[in-house]
Structure 1
Amino acid sequence: MSCRRILASVEAGALLLMVAFLLFVCVPQRRAAPAGAEVTEFPGFHGEFPSKHYAGYITVGHEQQKRHIYYYLATSERNPTLDPVVIWINGGPACSGFSAFLHSIGPFKIEDSQVHVKDDPRVTVNPYSWTKMASLLLIDSPAGVGYSYAENEDDNITNDTSRVVDLYDFLSKWFADEYTEFQSNPFYIAGCSYSGVIVPVLAQEILKRNEEFDTIKINFKGYSLCNPAVDVDIENNAHVPYAFRMGLISDELFQSLVTSCNGKYWNNSTPSCKGNMEQFYMDQEQALEKLFDTKLFREKLHAKETEVSGTWKRCPKYIQYTRDILTLTEYHLNVTSKGYRVFLYSGDHSLLVPFSATMEWLKTLNYKETEKWHPWFVENQIAGYSVRYGSNILFATIKGAGHVPSDYLPFEAFVAYQRWIDGAASL
């Protein structure tokens, strides 16, 4: 080999070493989850996990008011390196994330057919888990719910605004300090029911903080909500006409309500209306407590002992929660006007937040319909109806489903969500 060729070879090798060094120094390194965070056993489940699971705590607040938020991460069964990370914000307004985890969207599901009620609950694999398309992050929020806890009893008094502050604090630390390997993955927020109050506000907070120079940039792409609380007047006022349309109340009661309430069924102080409304409004909780409140499985799930975090309750009564954000229109507009993806879906048999209320509220956004109301199909059967609006908003009903569609029709709800998050042209 000539001297010139040897010199060129040495120079090329040195250049490669220099490039590798600069990449190591300048580019954030993806690393594994925190030491000791992996979960290898789950209460009531016997078998191999479908993917890697992790759990632990993120501390939020300040030195005098520390709150310890518990999380559980089930990574994607498909491709955790590239698939989205979805955080589930539970409704309630103050209920554990494990509620959705075991009843609808998580990799495990409580078996319905127990031989004896007193038997220990059994858990099996959920064939319609969202972990088949995304990494699922569940949290117990606010502090005091589930395994989460606060160091001061004052924190048992909370509201929507405080909760959003804690959720952003949680996410920024989770991505920046504990799970940096997921920073580049698409990030979505999801929830049902009361979380409709929290999700768009949290989305706006993420976008606002992403614009700041010295904060972690969360790779936010959009959010989804089922039967969401969006406007306290619209959703509560829709109960009576929806119930009548569905044949749930008699003609006589409906006519009495129409006459006495004059179209305003919620928050009406007229005595005759109140009397008729009182007539209108005339578990698996223990199974969950048996699963999550044992000393053994607190250790397996990396949760603090009872003496620290308190007795496990799905929706503890001692949390004094106030709804201080009554309408969400402004927040939805702030996020959707920037083109972020939104999927709203409703079980068409939900009385708590009727699909008709969501559709009525959607009209107030004044976005043009880009795809008219039409049926969508699963295995050649009508699974519901769908309409698309400008600014990346998709709305769909799931035919025959109740308040949390995944609880009632898990396959159809799974298909709808997968088509949306994978970016299908239509449902």
Structure 2
Amino acid sequence: MLQEVLVLVVLFNVVSSTSIIKTLPGFSGDLPFKLETGYVGVGDLDDVQLFYYFIESEGSPEHDPLVLWLTGGPGCSGFSALVYENIGPLSFDPANSIGNKPQLKLNPYSWTKVANIIFLDAPVGTGYSYAKTWEGYSNMSDTLSAAETYEFLRKWLMDHPKFFENALYVAGDSYSGIVLPIIVQEISDGNEDGRHPPMNIQGYVLGNPGTDIDVDENYRVPFAFRKALISDELYESLKTNCKGEYVNVDPNNALCVDDLDQYNECIADIFTPQILEPYCTVSSPNPLESERDSDDLNIDSANLLSLPQLSRPWCRSYIYRFSYIWANDKTVQDALHVREGSIKDWQRCNKTLSASYISDVSSSLVYHQNLIKKGYRVLIYSGDHDMVIPYLGTKAWIESLNLTVDSSWKPWFVNGQIAGYRVQYTYKKYQLTFTTIKGGGHTAPEYKPEECLAMISRWFSFYPL
């Protein structure tokens, strides 16, 4: 087996660099888990250098699943999921962070308790990932991003042959709902075509996933009605006058336009990623500039860094400021073995990339339909207070797959309390679980870490939620 692997490495021309990280600025003492960082070259002449953080399972690395995690955006760093979404074992410690010295603490709800996880900065231009030439940044799209991520995973596995046999899952949230099913299709096709290495793909996990952006957005109106953000009368009028179409509206339909104006007035001060949290406006030192947390979460929190002190009410974006300070610190980049001069400024979510990104897949539903035949296990979860990608739209497209309901809608519990509601579907060997996370927002584990760790632990163990 080892001889075969060595031959494949030579044939596949794996070009990568890896480093084991023992300590990190802001964390006291040695890291109590195994952290590896590195680059894998993909594309023509390995022009694109994709950066990753790999954390071995704190349970049983040789037996626990291997997960490739993709943060949304497009252009949001894997580090954001690692420290803010409670997917990784570290988080920032606001209570003990002073000035430009963010402190890190252990996260008791890390998914690395039950899985080996690769947090990838993809596509190129995300986080610490970079290209050696300008051509590497050009024409980035859904399909190209998926192809480069698939190439990354092939090369990473060649460099880490001890994980060949681990069950492989691809996971992600938000905009990853577009790209991730394409990657799983690439893996499936590659296995069938005999590409090396063969991957032990078992399924995929999606949180509050974008699937068809117009359809997802269209469900914001029914969601607003369900959550009592608009009146019964306005909702009935919207349904009648807009005929169920609230996104691509005919401007000549005056009645619908008027209703939508009333709707927008009702939700204008709602923080759509989590409707129960404060809507925050961050004032810039430049009086001509003002920014807020946007619906797609592609905010640049740089303005927060200039604030002399945090204003009230508390806003979640204030915590994001720590990542900008920490990840742009030269000592941090040296500790992570980031290549000097490879990036100008680290951003949690790269707005420049997302502005030039080509969305060449309008809907990923066709990929989900194709993957039904493969017999995979699928987990799709939605924070039920997310108005960016409402759970109603996600549930609707899942129902359009015409699967058999194996277990009907019912609650599941953590510590004796309802943590969400789930329904299970099957088609032959294919199994899909859809669950809500009660009180969760757009990135559900960020808001409900204990419940989401229980969810993923049970699901990986084939245990009912």
Determine if the TM-score, normalized by the shorter chain, exceeds 0.5: yes
Q: Which residue of 2 aligns with 1:415?
A: 454
Q: Which residue of 1 aligns with 2:361?
A: 325
Provide the C-alpha distance between the structure 1 equivalents of 2:6 and 2:43, rounded to a whole number of angstroms: 26
Deviation at 1:335, TM superposition (A): 1.7
Deviations for 1:7-59, whole angstroms, at most 9, x for unmatched residues?
xxxxxxxxxxxxxxxx7656879x9xx88610112242223323211001000
Structure 1: runs of 5+ lacking an equivalent = 1-22
1:121 aligns with 2:102: yes
Amino acid of the residue matched to residue 299 of structure 1? D
Aligned counterpart for 1:263 among listed residues 244, 250, 259: 244
Deviations for 1:332-388, whole angstroms, at most 9, x for unmatched residues?
122222211100111111111111111111111000101111111112221111110
Amino acid of the residue matched to residue 419 of structure 1? R
The 5-angstrom pairing of residues 339-418 of structure 1 reads: 339-390=375-426, 391-418=430-457
1:343 is paired with a residue whose SS is strand
Provide the C-alpha distance between the structure 2 equivalents of 1:270 and 1:158, rounded to a whole number of angstroms: 33
Provide the C-alpha distance between the structure 1 equivalents of 2:118 and 2:235, rounded to a whole number of angstroms: 43
Q: Which residue of 2 aligns with 1:313?
A: 347
1:200 aligns with 2:181: yes
Deviation at 1:84, TM superposition (A): 0.9
C-alpha contact (below 8 Å) 1:160/1:324 kept by paired residues: yes
1:322 is paired with a residue whose SS is coil
C-alpha contact (below 8 Å) 1:143/1:156 kept by paired residues: no
1:244 aligns with 2:283: no
C-alpha contact (below 8 Å) 2:382/2:391 kept by paired residues: yes
1:174 aligns with 2:156: yes
Provide the C-alpha distance between the structure 2 equivalents of 1:225 and 1:402, rounded to a whole number of angstroms: 14
1:219 aligns with 2:200: yes
Deviations for 1:38-89, whole angstroms, at most 9, x for unmatched residues?
01122422233232110010000112x7110001101001111111111111
Amino acid of the residue matched to residue 60 of structure 1? V
Deviation at 1:260, TM superposition (A): 4.2
* Aligned residue-pair number: 397
Aligned counterpart for 2:144 among listed residues 162, 165, 170: 162
Q: Which residue of 2 aligns with 1:288?
A: 323
Deviations for 1:260-318, whole angstroms, at most 9, x for unmatched residues?
4232011213254456255466323421111111111111111112x222211122222
Provide the C-alpha distance between the structure 1 equivalents of 2:381 and 2:194, rounded to a whole number of angstroms: 35
Structure 2: runs of 5+ lacking an equivalent = 10-15, 269-316
Between 95-104 and 106-115, the greater mean CA deviation after superposition: 106-115
Amino acid of the residue matched to residue 207 of structure 1? S
Amino acid of the residue matched to residue 164 of structure 1? A
Provide the C-alpha distance between the structure 2 equivalents of 1:255 and 1:214, rounded to a whole number of angstroms: 54
C-alpha contact (below 8 Å) 2:229/2:267 kept by paired residues: no
The 5-angstrom pairing of residues 52-201 of structure 1 reads: 52-63=34-45, 66-103=47-84, 104-113=86-95, 118-154=99-135, 155-176=137-158, 178-201=159-182
Deviations for 1:127-180, whole angstroms, at most 9, x for unmatched residues?
00011001110011111111000123341541101100100110011111x212
Provide the C-alpha distance between the structure 2 equivalents of 1:107 and 1:88, rounded to a whole number of angstroms: 14
Q: Which residue of 1 aligns with 2:288?
A: none
1:47 aligns with 2:86: no
C-alpha contact (below 8 Å) 2:410/2:423 kept by paired residues: yes
Deviation at 1:110, TM superposition (A): 1.2
C-alpha contact (below 8 Å) 2:17/2:38 kept by paired residues: no
1:297 aligns with 2:297: no
C-alpha contact (below 8 Å) 1:353/1:403 kept by paired residues: yes
Amino acid of the residue matched to residue 408 of structure 1? Y
Q: Which has the larger radius of gyration?
A: 1
Deviation at 1:398, TM superposition (A): 1.1
C-alpha contact (below 8 Å) 2:5/2:161 kept by paired residues: no
1:323 is paired with a residue whose SS is coil
Q: Which residue of 1 aligns with 2:273?
A: none
